[in-house]
Chains A and B, each alone.
Chain A
Amino acid sequence: MLHTPLSDTGRPAPSFVLGGWGKLNSEGRRQMAEGKHGNGVRQSKQPRRRWVQRNLAYCLIAPAFLIPLALSLVGVLGNYYSLTDYDIRYGIRDYIGLANYVRAFTKDRMLWQTVWFIVRFTIIVLVAEISLGFTIALALSTVSQRLSRLARTAMMGPLCIAPVIAALMWKIAMGPVQGILNHVLVMVGLPAVNWLGDPRIAPYAVALIDVWIYTPFVVLVLNGGLQSLPRAPYEAAMLDGASAWFAFKKLTLPLLRPFLLIAVLFRACDSLNVFDIIYASTKGGPERVTTSLAGWASENAFRWYQLGYGAALVTILYIIVYAVSRRLLRLMTAGGLSE
């Protein structure tokens, strides 16, 4: 047990005797060798220092935990508002319990329509982004480092543009009369498409915008994963005469699984919460076929002043996203992938 050494006066040695965090200098070592012990005052500081030393890691990560917790209190406040008739013109007049939720589930047709839209939207963009991103990542892993770096840099362009700006760019490009997309289609002999104005096509058009923006993110994650795969299993497989397809199916896919799941988790949560792309391109139209749950909540809260009801809709959205992300995280830990 380390005792604080005493000086020759019998008082506790000054702290500079300890040359660092619990490290003795030569004076300290000498006093230790002489068996001098600290008095009661000195000894009370040792347990504190030891506590700090034992819990240093927690102290350092505390801000990363406490700050999101503090920010999430805003969400808790929103949950409270969802139990009231909060109108942003008049404030809170009454506590109404679950009335907003009852209204949402029993009277609001748009709740089911928007949930169906975000589920469909999420499935479409996940399939497109993961398959496209994986293909591009695989291709990048087969070319030279230099070419791979250049390609990655070029692909980061969409990620550097604010989603709202990207959506506005696409809205102009998808213009039915003056848009460049239709111009190209007509040039090659195909009919013009009412991209954002046809209720049958608009959901896929906004999905296309999302795919354009976020596929590079998937490429980044998966390419990083591919770069980090160990070489030994592949060498062993090659020695055993395994085919490329076998190596891909039995080695690459299982080893890349955690990265795939991370990409899926991030994109799924983002897609279920989609708002900005739709707000900038279609504002939820035509005929509300592209209205997301977040957009519907925003409209109720800020356009029609019903913040309490909007908060209830956002809470429902949160529960949906939480359930999906929890399921995905379970998939990650099920294969021992959280290690």
Chain B
Amino acid sequence: MTARQLGTDRETCIGSGNCARLVPAVFDQDEDGRVALVPGGDPDAAAADVELAVAGCPVGALWWE
């Protein structure tokens, strides 16, 4: 079984900061306020929260599959 890939769409992102607030170990905001992945962040270590962040993104700019 291959590990799920966490994906972000910076163009779609509106910088709500929901993901960065919910899982700061995995998601961050760049200097423009848009989503950035934390280098070396491990989504599997916070799987439940990452799933909530993906489901809750207001513009569907996150996926994990």
Report whether chain A binds chain B.
no
